[in-house]
Amino acid sequence: MSEEDKPVRRKRSKGNSLTLRDVARMAGVAPITASRALNTPEAVSDKILERVREAVERTGYVPNLLAGGLASRKSRLVAALVPTITGSVFLETVQALTSTLAASGYQMMLGQAGYAESREDALLEAIIGRRPDGVVLTGIMRSPLARRRLIASGIPVVETWDLTPTPVDMLVGFSHEKLGAAVAEYLHRRGRRHLAAISADDERAARRNKAYSERALQLGIGGSGGEVPAHVVPAPSAVVSGREGLRALLKRHPGVDAIFCSSDMVALGVLIEAQAQGIEVPRQLAVVGLGDLALSRDLHPALTTVRVDGTLIGQTAARYIIQRTEGKPVVDPVCDVGFTIVERHSS
């Protein structure tokens, strides 16, 4: 664990956020000079401006855009970032966050961060500057700059939908690696011997697919040539991704008898394309999705999928933020909610 990571979980509180005075001290200037450098840079010399900007970069400080504008330090606002609002898999978590926070008098602001790290950094900077009472992230924070900014702000942070031994602050999620391996083991038990995958190109899906492939090869159920064929599609993936993916896989690997899809929507596309080609599911081809959307049980055949309890993730993340904001201890700031393979007719 790096020196940067070590103090994070021990020192989180609303009272120890980095201030402009700290930046000024590091830069060797008066607080008023540091303020001018950040707000009216033309009013200071180039040398002073460089020193202040270097201090900001080193500390991760983001100016408080609400300073002096509130009588209380509590904004009663929590910011949540999701990769996309078109990804139905996150809606359950968003709804649980919203209702649980509202029950305690907090409002939620939702931001769409996309799948590009730079876009998430820019959005987080804008959010931190407005000093919400908490920030809920989808996935773990991988940007060193954003991590420094979050730590420096002192704002309670909950990372979700993933696991890591070095969270920024608090964490509610599950292991994508264990999930991928579990799907391979399930298909092996169901007698499938030629596995393939259709995976989105985001980082979490890539880790799931890698674990799925590695476990399949260990079990001796990879594709021909000692590999597990995979078709990668852009995130967020959609029904068309599944249709195109199945056509591409069968063209290269006609013997495939099971496909793990990175979402239920991709799996729906696979089912549609299989029907169009006269491929019987599950006799000729087993299909497994991810997300357990409401439509999955009503498809024909009903879709086998992996369920992650998004409601529990949202409720737990909201509870962590509320407890931290109200000065109460969070006894176990890391929660693994696990996952469940929901077996239906498609496999």
| pLDDT tens digits along 70-103 | 444 577 899 999 887 766 678 899 999 999 999 9
Q: Which amino acid is residue 1, in one-letter code?
A: M
What's the whole-number mean pLDDT along residues 226-240?
A: 89
What does pTM read for this prediction? 0.80
Question: What is the band of 59 on the pLDDT scale with cuts at 50, 70, 90?
Answer: confident
| CA contacts within 13 A on the Cβ side of 148 | 14
Q: Which fold has domain 176-307?
A: Rossmann fold (3.40.50)
What's the whole-number mean pLDDT along residues 258-263?
A: 96
What CATH number has the domain spanning 72-173+309-339?
3.40.50.2300
Domain ranges across the chain: 72-173+309-339, 176-307
User: Beta strand pairing status for 230-233 and 195-200?
Assistant: parallel
Q: Inter-axis angle of helices 31-39 and 20-27, to 10 degrees?
A: 100
Q: Tokens standing for 71? A: 């009588």
Task: Indicate the average pLDDT of the chain.
Answer: 88
Taking residue 318's Cβ as centre, other Cβ atoms within 10 Å add up to: 28
| pLDDT tens digits along 274-316 | 999 999 999 999 999 999 999 999 999 999 999 999 999 999 9
Whether the CB-CB separation of 197 and 241 falls below 8 Å is answered with: no
| pLDDT tens digits along 181-223 | 999 999 999 999 999 999 999 999 999 999 999 999 999 987 6
Whether the CB-CB separation of 5 and 14 falls below 8 Å is answered with: no
Backbone dihedral angles phi then psi of residue 3, each to the nearest 5 degrees: -60, -30
Bridge partners for 77 per DSSP: 107
Question: What is the band of 347 on the pLDDT scale with cuts at 50, 70, 90?
Answer: very high
What is the number of residues in the chain? 347
Q: Which amino acid is residue 278, in one-letter code?
A: G
DSSP assignment string, 19-80: -HHHHHHHHTS-HHHHHHHHH-GGGS-HHHHHHHHHHHHHHT----TTTTS-SSS---EEEE
